[in-house]
Structure 1
């Protein structure tokens, strides 16, 4: 029996009786006749905010057979007579649920005796758990006098333990007894640390004590094991997730994180010890609970850990340990391998993608499961066979439409849209202080090479069709260095060095390994057909339909630049594309040339720019400055940690996070800009964070532009025509909802292409003004009747009037749920 069973002991009978008494006191027994759900039951008996506590009571009553649970509904079971329970302690359960306020916990001598008891009662479980705290190897850093950063991974050093919320030190003692050369750091509140020093005095300086709350404790990194024993049941899910992030950050690559707690079976059907203790937590803590293994495992995965497993303890059937590992991947050798394998198929991987691939491949090679083998095969085929092959076919003109558009000699006088977009891109770079010299200095030599304008375009791009080997001018190291916009000093130089679209694309970030976006056969066939219908010649069709894809590729810049994680890099490239050429996301009426679903990513880039400014973001994105030199290190650190953890949870082939969930990344930018400590946040926690609490500095011009983009995003009609995804601007048939309390702009989705309702963020300063000026009303319903009314509608929303109507739109204040 673990500490939990010992803590309940004979009192378990009293707690059972108190639960049955509370069911009578609250009126649950009488209300069961209608077989209600939990919420229906709460409504019937008048329980408001205490529903979480009541739900725990229902779990216990179901386990005792007092009620019967079928799905999410409850019926009457074998209801015993009402017991007589004193109105003290657990006897006040009904009051706690009604008031949604926990009972006070005694401190002082009572708390000291409790910790003494827990240390004694938990000693056997601690000894059994100790072997789980020895990782396969330990890192060079011990987290003590000279904390390691963990990047070198496990080695042969002594084992080290970080005991978070270690109490009187039962688990630290068991660890140090099991490993005589081990060292430990114990974290708890100051009054508990005093007790731990007494219990662990025999270990001398092998123990370091940190009196602090877990999430703010300065403990270093590089531990071989991190333990959260009997901690998570004291806290709500959000805090538990933060503690798992703290543990994941502190453990060395290859090390283990162990969460030991009372066991709760899936579906919360038992064991009774876990259910009763959860009820005890509902009585005496704000949000404490006992959690299923799947819930704890999800927090560990969200924190970036892998190989999660459940371990049972022989001496404590009522408890379990959830064990996870921090991945350790040696990527240098895999990167060299990727360079060689890509070169063998005439390709070169840009640095950010190459590094991400090396990490992912390393993870899967270390994981011998069938799922890992399948992932590994898919990744290698995609990036080393399929994508390079499609790129080669595009540039070789295998498809007649590709040959028509990509190999046509460019007459820039006939490309007014593309030429204007290039001009605007260079103007943005100049405004940010970016020039070619900056880029070369920061990024160093670029090893991928571009088109040889002197040898003849067709010869190089026909290499895939040739009967004998022909040097690919895109990769031949004797040719001109790869060119991206920041390496040429002005737009005229760029145009002069760009004779074809193939030459332009071949020297972009992804141009040596991936096919051109919207250069697939279905897209090019659509462009050819639609251009003919519109009476456009080849240049007219290129200008109409390929300006946006080319700007998209150019906005990724050099291949070896310092870059944020791929997801955020794509978001910033998307924002820059929209900033340079609005039709990148929002086509003019009658046009359908935008990037499909672009606002989902570009709004994240827009939020990063709103938080930190255009110039520093552009300079860092182009490679003219390093991210850590122009943005807060806290943002870069969190972006790397969160993107990696999120990708490891999803394991997407494209290394992107959920493209339809922009809120965590928007909140991350604003939280860091507002000075918040985000080191313990997960994407889920960030998604729940109110933007109103982290509003950036006021900028009325920028915010009005953001609202305009939000409204334009609500006017996109996404369709698929003959295999090509098209985005068109139309007046939406449904009303647009501006929700100030949630800082969102949304409308119902239409058609069969959109899988979720379109959504965009509302600037917090605008949302705050709406909430203040409209009083109890929390937003607007907007009905547009003309697209050209969007700027005026945006101005009206930013002004937060009590209502507004013109010939182009109607803005109605409403109370939103």
Structure 2
């Protein structure tokens, strides 16, 4: 095969991943994995149960079987226990909100040329379940992303000593829970918007940690942060912001911390070239497509912005290829 033919095959492969992603995403949006019963169901039964068009659903179900997400036996479709655990909304370990969130993200990515031309995210439709469901899926997708790694990453940060954690933009509360499990005598102040706090309170009760957490609602872009903590956790927020916005947020954290307190930032940390790590470079595009001013940043940029906010000696405590690098700095 010639170099041109190999290059063409490689380039065409780069454009092909959307098909299986869209098949899986549509099934998650339609609730297919909760609709299929343990005995298996026909397309007609599932079309009635999900209120979908029979012809269209049959094509989707056959495609799901072709990519081996469903099993087809005669005219009946089945879900394996493992797939149901991963994609049923009734499962405690479900990843369905993340699948639907990625579909929402994809609606912006398909307009990337428009965004690059204009410099602002392109208009996009909401998912078929509506904007409120998209927002709920975003919060629960963050829980999906962090659930399996939080305890291990917190262990990697040890030894840590603090009395009160401030979780800025705490989302579903996953990181608050991990820190409280690691430090049994510590308490936490959770801060986020009301819709996120409602999810976090529900999960805190499930985790048996509700009584150790003070829930404060507000907008960190507008409101001052609760004061008195000696350790602040800023997880997966900085990439949503411009550097100017980050400096303002870091300054709010600085003012909220007690003297000697520390800030820890979990996020992508780019190499100076900005093309590595691979996931970090691609995530910058995600921020371009989905936020007005977001980006991914280098260690040097984080250090400059933390020091501008008043922090001292920012260091890279953990290095990760994805979004699990951690930078720590202290307030004098």
- TM tier relative to shorter chain: 0.5 to 0.7
Q: Distance in 2 between matches of 1:193 and 1:246?
A: 20
Residue 93 of structure 1 is aligned with which of 91, 106, 112? Answer: 112
For the pair 1:116 / 2:115, whether they are aligned, the reply is no
Relative distance call for 1:300 and 1:135 in structure 2 (3 A) is farther
Report the equivalent of 1:103.
Answer: 122
How far 1:214 sits from its partner (Å)? 0.9
Q: Distance in 1 between matches of 2:134 and 2:219?
A: 21
Report the equivalent of 2:174.
Answer: 170
Relative distance call for 1:123 and 1:194 in structure 2 (3 A) is same
How far 1:181 sits from its partner (Å)? 1.6
For the pair 1:292 / 2:298, whether they are aligned, the reply is yes
Residues 346-745 of structure 1: matches in 2 within 5 Å?
A: none
Residue 126 of structure 1 is aligned with which of 146, 150, 154? Answer: 150
2:121 alignment partner, SS class: coil
Q: Are the equivalent residues in 2 in contact too, given 1:187–1:217 (CA < 8 A)?
A: no
Residue 248 of structure 2 is aligned with which of 242, 245, 252? Answer: 242
For the pair 1:160 / 2:160, whether they are aligned, the reply is no
For the pair 1:190 / 2:214, whether they are aligned, the reply is no
Relative distance call for 1:15 and 1:119 in structure 2 (3 A) is farther
List per-residue Cα deviations over 1:34-82 (Å, max 9, x = no partner).
Answer: xxxxxxxxxxxxxxxxxxxxxxxxxxxxxxxxxxxxxxxxxxxxxxxxx
Q: Distance in 1 between matches of 2:323 and 2:107?
A: 27
Q: Are the equivalent residues in 1 in contact too, given 2:277–2:322 (CA < 8 A)?
A: no
How far 1:190 sits from its partner (Å)? 1.3
Q: Distance in 1 between matches of 2:233 and 2:329?
A: 11
Relative distance call for 1:198 and 1:104 in structure 2 (3 A) is farther
1:122 alignment partner, SS class: helix
Q: Are the equivalent residues in 2 in contact too, given 1:15–1:276 (CA < 8 A)?
A: no
How far 1:115 sits from its partner (Å)? 1.9
Q: Distance in 2 between matches of 1:125 and 1:252?
A: 29
How far 1:171 sits from its partner (Å)? 0.6
Q: Are the equivalent residues in 1 in contact too, given 2:108–2:123 (CA < 8 A)?
A: no
Q: Distance in 2 between matches of 1:192 and 1:216?
A: 16
How far 1:216 sits from its partner (Å)? 3.6
List per-residue Cα deviations over 1:770-799 (Å, max 9, x = no partner).
Answer: xxxxxxxxxxxxxxxxxxxxxxxxxxxxxx
1:128 alignment partner, SS class: helix
How far 1:111 sits from its partner (Å)? 2.2
Q: Are the equivalent residues in 1 in contact too, given 2:191–2:217 (CA < 8 A)?
A: yes
Q: Which has the higher strand share?
A: 2
Report the equivalent of 1:322.
Answer: 327
Report the equivalent of 2:213.
Answer: 207
Moved runs in structure 1, 4+ residues, more than 4 A?
A: 12-17, 133-136
Report the equivalent of 2:282.
Answer: 276
Report the equivalent of 2:260.
Answer: 254
Question: Which ranges in structure 1 are unaligned for 5 or more consecutive residues?
Answer: 1-11, 18-86, 139-158, 328-817
Q: Distance in 1 between matches of 2:259 and 2:186?
A: 18
Question: Which ranges in structure 2 are unaligned for 5 or more consecutive residues?
Answer: 1-12, 19-105
Q: Are the equivalent residues in 1 in contact too, given 2:201–2:210 (CA < 8 A)?
A: no
List per-residue Cα deviations over 1:707-759 (Å, max 9, x = no partner).
Answer: xxxxxxxxxxxxxxxxxxxxxxxxxxxxxxxxxxxxxxxxxxxxxxxxxxxxx
Report the equivalent of 1:602.
Answer: none
1:184 alignment partner, SS class: strand
Report the equivalent of 1:564.
Answer: none
How far 1:126 sits from its partner (Å)? 2.2
For the pair 1:232 / 2:238, whether they are aligned, the reply is yes
Q: Distance in 1 between matches of 2:202 and 2:165?
A: 19
List per-residue Cα deviations over 1:106-141 (Å, max 9, x = no partner).
Answer: 4311221232122122134322343548655x5xxx
Q: Are the equivalent residues in 2 in contact too, given 1:135–1:224 (CA < 8 A)?
A: no
Relative distance call for 1:172 and 1:15 in structure 2 (3 A) is farther
Q: Distance in 1 between matches of 2:14 and 2:192?
A: 32
Task: Give the structure-1-normalised TM-score.
Answer: 0.26
Q: Are the equivalent residues in 1 in contact too, given 2:108–2:121 (CA < 8 A)?
A: no
Task: Give the structure-2-normalised TM-score.
Answer: 0.62
Q: Are the equivalent residues in 2 in contact too, given 1:261–1:320 (CA < 8 A)?
A: yes
Q: Are the equivalent residues in 1 in contact too, given 2:268–2:322 (CA < 8 A)?
A: no
Q: Distance in 2 between matches of 1:311 and 1:13?
A: 34
Relative distance call for 1:16 and 1:200 in structure 2 (3 A) is same
Relative distance call for 1:92 and 1:104 in structure 2 (3 A) is closer
Larger radius of gyration: 1
Q: Distance in 1 between matches of 2:295 and 2:149?
A: 21
Relative distance call for 1:308 and 1:203 in structure 2 (3 A) is same
How far 1:269 sits from its partner (Å)? 2.3
Q: How many pairs does the alignment contain?
A: 225
How far 1:91 sits from its partner (Å)? 2.3
Relative distance call for 1:212 and 1:268 in structure 2 (3 A) is same
Q: Are the equivalent residues in 1 in contact too, given 2:288–2:295 (CA < 8 A)?
A: yes
Q: Distance in 2 between matches of 1:133 and 1:226?
A: 15
How far 1:94 sits from its partner (Å)? 1.0
- Compute the RMSD of aligned alpha carbons: 2.6
2:270 alignment partner, SS class: coil
How far 1:292 sits from its partner (Å)? 0.9
Q: Distance in 2 between matches of 1:209 and 1:241?
A: 25
How far 1:218 sits from its partner (Å)? 4.3
How far 1:312 sits from its partner (Å)? 2.0
Relative distance call for 1:248 and 1:189 in structure 2 (3 A) is same
